[in-house]
């Protein structure tokens, strides 16, 4: 994994607050995203820590389309993502 992804997943001091992976088709961004998410889950929820996260995956084009203002509530997608609805 790239160093920034590993640091983010492990929550080390100085790690980025968020992670955005980009790359051309076929260079391994999906692989990196899944392994980074798995590492983050292992870090956050190992040792019987309570809670259960919800992980959502989006194609970037779908996410950008969904985040565009629509209808009466431009934050509808954000609200749905926050409530996993």
pLDDT at 6: 94
pLDDT at 53: 73
Among the listed residues 81, 41, 43, 85, the one whose alpha carbon sits nearest the alpha carbon of residue 63: 81
For 68-81, the pLDDT digits (tens) are: 766 566 677 667 76
pLDDT at 72: 62
For 11-58, the pLDDT digits (tens) are: 899 988 888 888 899 999 989 999 999 999 888 887 776 777 777 777
Q: Maximum Cα–Cα distance for the chain, whole Å?
A: 44
């Amino acid at each position: 994994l790239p160093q920034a992804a590993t640091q983010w997943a492990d929550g080390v001091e100085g790690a980025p607050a968020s992670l955005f992976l980009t790359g051309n088709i076929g260079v391994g961004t999906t692989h990196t995203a899944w392994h980074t998410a798995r590492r983050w889950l292992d870090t956050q929820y190992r040792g019987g820590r309570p809670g259960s996260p919800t992980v959502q995956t989006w194609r970037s084009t779908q996410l950008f389309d969904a985040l565009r203002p629509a209808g009466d509530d431009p934050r509808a997608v954000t609200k749905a993502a926050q409530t996993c609805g």
